[in-house]
Amino acid sequence: MRKLSEQEQFWASEFGDEYISRNSLEALIGPDIAMWSDILKNCSQLPETAFEMGCNIGANLYALKCIIPNIKISGVEINTKAAALAKKNTGASIYNCSILDFGQDSNFFDLVFSCGVMIHINPEQLPAIYQKLYQLSQRYILINEYYNPSPVAIPYRNHQNKLFKRDFAGELLDMFPDLQLVAYNFIYHRDAAFPKDDCTWFLLEKTK
């Protein structure tokens, strides 16, 4: 059995449980619906299926369902309590395991995405995460993370090696030449209507 990385253990355990108490569905849903409305207007065809890598309590999946009621949603979440809440909040198929241990080779999705997850992954594991994102998507990939032009690690709530910024989308584009950048946007924490924590989203599309 594969040994979880330091970062995976961190989120699967007590710190991941505490994160849930700081992030309620009610607080997240407004900004999430606004963000997804902005993203989806750039899709030439709305996705019928979506899969989230690291869905936590399911706020993004819930927002997608509000905008596209008939969409089939599912996700993977390493923290047991968060996975149970995501299933309760969305009714989606939620797999309680590490992203790296998730395997569903026979099922593909119109949209595969990560929101504030890859920033917490061991950088050495990112190529495998990129590969999984690419393989599971049959059209769109959405990356919503903290952007930095070069890789950097910063302290996260007094913890070291738990938060990493970099150009995740750019690395995906370099790794898979048939991906194209469709749209991107930055969401400022002082946005008057729907603030988020200075994240940048990138919508990518397969061209083959």
- Which CATH number fits the domain that encloses residue 185? 3.40.50.150
Whether the per-residue pLDDT at 138 is higher than 70: the answer is yes
User: In b/e form, how buried is each residue of 3-27, taking b as 16+ CB within 10 angstroms?
Assistant: ebeebbebbbeeebeebeeeeebee
Whether the per-residue pLDDT at 100 is higher than 60: the answer is yes
- The closest of 169, 166, 160 to 148, measured between CA atoms, is 166
In a domain, 208, yes or no: no
pLDDT in tens, 142-166: 999 999 999 999 998 888 888 999 9
Structure tokens at 188: 């400022």
Provide the percentage of residues in the chain whose pLDDT is more than 90.
Answer: 78
In a domain, 1, yes or no: no
The average confidence (pLDDT) of the chain is: 93
In a domain, 19, yes or no: yes
Top pLDDT among 60 and 6 is at: 60
Q: What's the structural domain count of the chain? A: 1
| Contact indicator for 204, 178 with CB cutoff of 8 Å | no
In a domain, 204, yes or no: no
Task: Please give the residue range of the domain that contains residue 14.
Answer: 6-197
In a domain, 59, yes or no: yes
* Residue indicated by tokens 């710190």: 15
In a domain, 202, yes or no: no
Per-residue confidence band for 1, with pLDDT thresholds at 50, 70 and 90: low
